[in-house]
Copies of this chain bind each other. A is one copy, B any other.
Amino acid sequence: MIVVMKSRCDEKDIQHVLTFLTNHGLTGHPSRGVERTVIGVLGAVGPSGTPGSIGGINPVLGEALESLPSVESVLRVSKPYKLASREFHPEDTLVDVPVPCVSTSRVSIGNGSVVMMAGPCTVESEKQLMTTAQAVRNEGAIILRGGAFKPSTSPYGFRGLGEERLKLLAKARSEFGMAVITEVMTPTDVSMVCEYADILQIGTRNMQNYMLLDEVGRVNKPVLLKRGMSATIEEWLLAAEYILSQGNRNVILCERGIRTFERVTRNTMDISAIPLIKQLSHLPIISDPSQGTGRRDLVTQMSLASIAAGTDALLIEVHPNPDEALKDGAQSLTLEQFQKLMPQVQAVAQAVGRTFITE
């Protein structure tokens, strides 16, 4: 942590800051420049309790320092997330998921190969789910997505049907050997969703629902954490830190578009988040071009771009009859469109030296 003093502060102000630091168990090292003085801070205590770092995180102290009248700004040298950072954990995290339909009966998300997660936005009926699962499995998808609980911006939109729908997902899993990913929306539902799902999804609106993050941090299922629609990459990794710090180390990040001024697309998909996350963190990162664009006619190109940029998996909405979908039909691929997509993503994966696991 570095404290930048205001240009007109005097020696008394500097001493005041140094005393403040001492009172909090820290040491300040002032560098007196012609124009202004900066004070390097040693001894800040990080999350794991290790003292002695220049940097370290302690947001409270940083804010307190910033509000001293002689202080211009406080520069944080270290990243505020630790367990999620590549510095803390240099090797890639591999998230292991049981997938009966592949020859190894498990896949490791994050190990360099690519997998396809596909299915309907919302589980509407047994027929709709089974038809879609069969079709996407036939083309090589190995993880089935489908919402049992659905957030909706309007209280009058479709909001899901809960456990009954979870049972349909479990049925599809046993029938087609796919792993199941589905959203959990509130802490009290976590244990129930764990009974049916292989991966718990935290939706974009819940990225900072801290009690929900705590709760999924206490189970041992993999968690897919979608980026909040206006979350910075730092905030997103801090949300992952919530889960990791509760003990659950199986976190997968998912880029799903951010909110910008552009109005032609529902969101602006931040493809650069994929290589950035690979640099900053050891966690797998996947890509949701359906939510990321909100437009079916962009899903194929954004899938290809995601693979080229290094995504660990794609999460695609598919519906047998999107015109009649209860939710987000405008961004779901038809079965035919999905069928056309698969060889294209495999070709690009191969071009960048990656295997696409389909069986």
Contacts and interface: CB of A to CB of B under 8 A. Distances in A.
Interface of A: 2, 4, 7-8, 20, 29, 31, 33-38, 40, 42, 47, 52-60, 63-64, 66-68, 75, 77-78, 80-81, 87, 151-159, 185-188, 205-206, 208-212, 229-230, 232-235, 238, 241-242, 245, 258-265, 268-272, 274-276, 279-280, 292-293, 296-298, 301-302, 304-310, 322-330, 332, 344, 347-348, 350-352
Contacts of A271: 269, 271, 302, 305
Contacts of A307: 308
Contact of A185 (B81, B211, B309): B211
Contacts of A20: 323
A35 B75 contact: no
Given A34-B52, A230-B230, A80 B154 contact: yes
Contact of A351 (B36, B323, B332, B350): B350
Contacts of A304: 308-309, 352
A261 B260 contact: yes
B296 A305 contact: no
Contacts of A42: 31, 33-34
Nearest to A267: B272
Most central of A59, A241, A325 by chain B CB within 10 Å:
A59
A341 to B, nearest CB: 12
B268 A270 contact: yes
A203 to B, nearest CB: 9
Contacts of A67: 296, 322-323, 325, 329-330, 332
A210 B238 contact: no
A129 to B, nearest CB: 18
Q: State the 7 A-B residue pairs at the shortest beta-carbon distance, nearest first.
A: A33-B54, A230-B230, A351-B351, A35-B53, A304-B308, A305-B305, A308-B308
Most central of A52, A332, A348, A350 by chain B CB within 10 Å:
A348
11 contacts: A2-B2, A35-B78, A60-B327, A63-B328, A63-B330, A66-B330, A152-B210, A263-B263, A268-B272, A272-B298, A347-B352
Nearest to A45: B156
Contacts of A75: 2, 75
B205 A208 contact: yes
Contacts of A351: 347-348, 350-351
Contact of A186 (B211, B232, B296): B211
A154 to B, nearest CB: 5
Given A77-B38, A205-B209, A208-B153, A264 B308 contact: no
Most central of A20, A156, A304 by chain B CB within 10 Å:
A156
Contact of A302 (B7, B210, B272, B323): B272
A352 B308 CA distance: 11
Contacts of A77: 4, 36, 38
A200 to B, nearest CB: 16
Contacts of A327: 60, 63
